[in-house]
Amino acid sequence: MTEVAIIDAPAAGDTRRELLLTEDRLGHYPEFRAFFIRAFDLDRVGLARPGHVRAPSGLVYALVFVGRSGEAFPCGVEIHAVVDALEPLDEAVADRDLWSILQWMIAGVGPPWTVEDLRATGRLYRIPAAG
């Protein structure tokens, strides 16, 4: 697996965000919340801006952290591909990148979560990128 890298926010330019995945219940997984807080300095940044990563394909993805009244921050995360405004999203590339991002997240969260368990689950559900 090629490394996923946290990067600074790219210049907006002629781009758009394409929503790929939403998890709106991070409260069920406190270790994921702790990972995002550490990785993206959310204690300091908060809702001010999304986090950005560069995936193995070279494409950039925005992680938009969601806050909700009465819940610890972040209570959710959305993953968006940052693509050229007029170009279609290459769904096969986005699927492979999203799978790499999920593996990066699981590795960052650590035990009891494992990348091998994620891969096994992906194979059970026949996710092409998991093969």
Euclidean distance between CA atoms 99 and 94, whole angstroms: 8
What per-residue confidence (pLDDT) applies to 77? 95
What per-residue confidence (pLDDT) applies to 2? 57
Using one digit for the tens of pLDDT, what is the confidence trace for 97-126? 999 999 999 999 999 999 999 999 988 888
Q: Is the dihedral of CA 117, 72, 76, 79 positive or negative?
A: negative
What per-residue confidence (pLDDT) applies to 47? 78
pTM: 0.91
Per-residue CA distances from 87 to 9, 16, 123 (Å):
20, 10, 31
Helices within 76-128 (DSSP H only): 91-109, 115-124
Please identify which residue in the block is written with the tokens 């996923």: 4
8 A C-beta contact, residue 96 and residue 129: yes
Segments in the chain below pLDDT 70: 1-2
